[in-house]
């Protein structure tokens, strides 16, 4: 998938290294988004849950803590490197009711009606064939089972305006890469809802939700993290002329400092959440 500009290489060394180095800060930043989808998927003890495009482990790990020993959670992702970190995190928490598997959302390796719940946090934006992936989710979900998907809302929000959009505004001819544009494909109301309904889901509801997206550290740290971990924007970052790089760095840091209180960066993040019943 890495050869296709619409499909970023989530296995790249820089991202894997960043996930390890900044794991506590990243977890803090994404905590309220994780809490939001956990709330929406509505699991009970004993349920079997599939977390699609689980990356480094959330919300699968949080859900495993809720379904209890009688329940089971499977996290699946097409990229192997993030799953290694997910396994480590689950082991550190002593979870025995969770497993992680490498696999493609377009061809889920499970029998029909295998799960009570399906979740996906910040992943479905990158699926190459959305109707097919949504049909697969519907297939493996049990009748009356619930799905909850969380995706990015509009791009115009602090984290991206301070970083990527600052660069675009400074560098003539610079543009948001195709893979990064895909991150916001559900920014308009009704797009995600329509996709789920087209795959056979019923009682589909969709809403915007704004949560804290707080980085516990300095502007320099969060800017370094963005450059290493936010893979879809890598072509934009690589396209900065060397003679302008320092000027761009200072401009980005100036924008980030507007949200800095001396100990943390107080961004907010706007996500779109859709839920439905099989």
Q: Residue 271 belongs to a domain with what CATH number?
A: 3.40.50.150
User: Any idea which of 20-24, 50-54, 107-111, 199-203 has the lowest mean pLDDT?
Assistant: 20-24
Q: How confident is the model at residue 231 (pLDDT cuts 50, 70, 90)?
A: confident
Q: What share of the chain is helix, strand, coil (3-state, %, to 5)?
A: 45, 25, 30
Distance CA 101, CA 87 (A): 10
Residue 7 lies in a domain: no
Region for residue 203 given its phi and psi (left: phi exceeds 0; alpha: psi -120 to 50; beta: otherwise): left
Higher-scoring residue by pLDDT: 12, 84: 84
Report CA-CA distances (Å) from 110 to 50, 128, 133, 136.
10, 20, 13, 9
Residue 155 lies in a domain: yes
Higher-scoring residue by pLDDT: 44, 228: 44
For the chain, the average pLDDT equals 92
Q: What is the mean pLDDT of residues 87-108?
A: 96
Distance CA 84, CA 15 (A): 13
Residue 185, pLDDT score: 94
Q: How confident is the model at residue 21 (pLDDT cuts 50, 70, 90)?
A: confident
Q: Is residue 147 scored above 60 in pLDDT?
A: yes
Q: How confident is the model at residue 16 (pLDDT cuts 50, 70, 90)?
A: low
**Residue written as tokens 């690589």?**
238
Number of domains within the chain: 1
b/e code 160-195 from CB counts within 10 Å (16+ = b): bebbbbbbeeebeebebbebbebbbbbbeeeebbeb
Query: By residue range, what is the domain housing residue 251?
Result: 13-277
Residue 3, pLDDT score: 33
pTM over 0.85: yes
Q: Is residue 215 scored above 50 in pLDDT?
A: yes
- CB neighbours of residue 96 within 10 Å: 11
Q: Is residue 23 scored above 70 in pLDDT?
A: yes
Residue 62 lies in a domain: yes
Residue 7, pLDDT score: 53
Q: How confident is the model at residue 207 (pLDDT cuts 50, 70, 90)?
A: very high
Residue 6, pLDDT score: 47
Residue 8 lies in a domain: no
Q: What is the mean pLDDT of residues 45-73?
A: 97
Residue 1 lies in a domain: no
Residue 106 lies in a domain: yes
Which two three-digit tokens encode residue 258? 């507007």
User: Any idea which of 7-21, 39-53, 131-145, 204-218 has the lowest mean pLDDT?
Assistant: 7-21
Higher-scoring residue by pLDDT: 88, 7: 88
Residue 52 lies in a domain: yes
Distance CA 232, CA 229 (A): 9
Residue 95, pLDDT score: 96
Q: Is residue 133 scored above 70 in pLDDT?
A: yes
Q: How confident is the model at residue 218 (pLDDT cuts 50, 70, 90)?
A: very high
The pLDDT tens digits for 154-168 are 999 999 999 999 999
Report CA-CA distances (Å) from 120 to 103, 170, 189, 243.
14, 34, 18, 41
Residue 3 lies in a domain: no
Angle (CA) 46 52 55, round 5° = 110
Residue 24, pLDDT score: 87
Q: What is the mean pLDDT of residues 121-140?
A: 95
User: Any idea which of 159-163, 186-190, 228-232 has the lowest mean pLDDT?
Assistant: 228-232
């Amino acid at each position: 998938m890495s050869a296709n500009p619409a499909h970023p290489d989530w296995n790249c060394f820089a991202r894997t290294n960043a996930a390890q180095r900044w794991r506590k800060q990243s977890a803090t930043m994404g905590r309220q988004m994780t809490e939001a989808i956990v709330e929406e998927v509505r699991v009970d003890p004993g349920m079997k849950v599939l977390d699609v495009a689980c990356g480094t482990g959330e919300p699968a790990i949080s859900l495993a803590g809720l379904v209890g020993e009688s329940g089971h959670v499977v996290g699946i992702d097409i990229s192997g490197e993030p799953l290694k970190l997910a396994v480590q995190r689950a082991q550190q928490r002593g979870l025995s009711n969770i497993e992680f598997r490498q696999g493609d959302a377009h061809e889920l390796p499970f029998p029909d009606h295998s799960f009570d719940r399906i979740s996906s946090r910040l992943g479905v934006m990158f699926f190459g064939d959305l109707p097919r992936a949504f049909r697969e989710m519907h297939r493996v979900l049990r009748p009356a089972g619930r799905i909850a998907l969380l995706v990015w809302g509009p791009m115009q929000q602090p984290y991206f305006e301070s970083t990527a959009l600052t660069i675009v505004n400074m560098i003539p001819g610079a543009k948001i890469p195709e893979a990064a544009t895909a991150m916001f494909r559900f920014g308009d109301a009704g797009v995600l809802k329509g996709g789920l309904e087209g795959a056979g889901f019923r009682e589909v509801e969709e809403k915007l939700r704004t949560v804290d997206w707080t980085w516990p550290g300095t502007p320099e740290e969060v800017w370094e993290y963005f450059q290493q971990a936010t893979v879809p924007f890598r072509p934009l970052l690589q396209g900065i002329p060397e003679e302008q790089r320092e000027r761009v760095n200072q401009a980005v840091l100036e924008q980030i400092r507007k949200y800095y209180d001396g100990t943390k960066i107080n961004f907010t993040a706007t996500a779109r959440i859709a839920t439905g019943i099989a």
